[in-house]
Structure 1
Amino acid sequence: MTQQISLTETTSQHQCSCGCSSASDYELDARTIPHAIRHGAVLGALASLDVGSAIQLIAPHDPKHLLSQISDLFGEAVETSYVDRGGDGVGVRLLKVRASE
């Protein structure tokens, strides 16, 4: 059985000084991704982002373990910030501020 994962492009509010012009924001609802592949799907989506682009991640719970993995893999190349901690999920913005080493 296959399941479709949705990564939706949203209006970009990109405001950095990196000079890039292809920045986009995407919304990724991790609640729809099977648990066994959830972290891999998010990490893969994050790795494919252009500098200046961001993912608005909607997680079913506080993704502390995932954020730790992101920090280990991407270091300071990705900035994270909580945008919503209530309702049916937790919202986290993952902004790629420079290329990964």
Structure 2
Amino acid sequence: MIIASTPADAEAAETIRNHHAELAGHLSALTDAMLAATERGTAFGPDPGADFDAARKAAVDFLTEILLPHATAEEARLYPAAARADRARPLIESMIAVHRTIADLTDQIRTETSPVRAAAAGRAAQVLFEAHLADENDRVLPIVAADPLVSLADIADDELLGRHAVDARACNCDPDAEEPVLDVRPIPHPIRHATVFGALEAVPAGASMVLVAPHDPVPLLHQLRDRTSGRISVEYLERGPEAWRLRLTRI
């Protein structure tokens, strides 16, 4: 929980955290698609073919059109507010450095001739981004939200709040390709649903993902049906007691 100076700032902080979770889930699904296409290519020949090309394009489009513009907005609006606190300046410098590294990895994904190396760069970007978000959620946002001289609600624009559609960046991959698996059990509960939202948005129509949850996710399923206008089917693969596994298919 983030302690904020006003209710509006608390709401803005929570919205940004949820958007971060959606971004992480989306990138995870796209990275899994690249890795799966690479593994299929390795098994059946040296060239993963069009399926990998589609997965790579979806990942690059998402990184360049959604994730990196979000990073730019952070540097323009969020980070200067955090850097008002002297203790936060080294942290902010390191956060900006991570943005540059993710941009470099994006270029590597785009230009690498080896599918294996491109997929590895994608996984590296995903892992780095998830660690980066932990610092942002747990260290940067609380500094800004708690500052009575700064209004997080005022400085947070649509880019920071995630008020744009990302489902157009779904992978145009083979719907029969290997299903990505999202295990939400280690994900903090407050951002768990948002992570699933982002991951499902990366799944193309007609394809599926497998969700692993610590309990029967009935409230989440209601939210998913609302978000997709009912264009989702659910199949239970396992019903506890330690894990619930569900196949979510976009219709």
Same fold (TM over 0.5): yes
How far residue 67 of structure 1 moved from its aligned partner, in angstroms, is: 0.3
User: SS at 2:229's partner residue?
Assistant: helix
User: SS at 2:240's partner residue?
Assistant: coil
In structure 1, list runs of 5 or more residues that go unmatched. 11-19
4+ residue segments displaced more than 6 Å: none
Matched, 1:57 2:211: yes
Matched, 1:69 2:69: no
Could you say which residue in structure 2 is the equivalent of 1:92? 246
The alpha-carbon distance between structure 1 residues 81 and 66, as it changes in their structure 2 partners (threshold 3 A), is same
Could you say which residue in structure 2 is the equivalent of 1:22? 174
Distance 1:62 1:76 in 2: 19
In structure 2, list runs of 5 or more residues that go unmatched. 1-23, 37-171
Q: Deviations over 1:30-60 (max 9, x none)?
A: 1021111100000111112111221110000
Could you say which residue in structure 1 is the equivalent of 2:191? 37
**2:206–2:249 CA contact under 8 A, matched in 1:** yes
Q: Deviations over 1:5-51 (max 9, x none)?
A: 765556xxxxxxxxx86123111101021111100000111112111
The alpha-carbon distance between structure 1 residues 41 and 50, as it changes in their structure 2 partners (threshold 3 A), is same
Could you say which residue in structure 1 is the equivalent of 2:145? none
More strand by share: 1
User: SS at 1:76's partner residue?
Assistant: coil
The alpha-carbon distance between structure 1 residues 84 and 51, as it changes in their structure 2 partners (threshold 3 A), is same
Q: Deviations over 1:57-90 (max 9, x none)?
A: 0000000000000111112321111111024111
Distance 1:57 1:21 in 2: 19
Q: State the number of aligned residues.
A: 86
Distance 1:35 1:69 in 2: 15
Distance 2:173 2:183 in 1: 25
- Which structure would you say has the larger Rg? 2
Aligned-residue RMSD, C-alpha: 2.4
Distance 1:41 1:78 in 2: 17
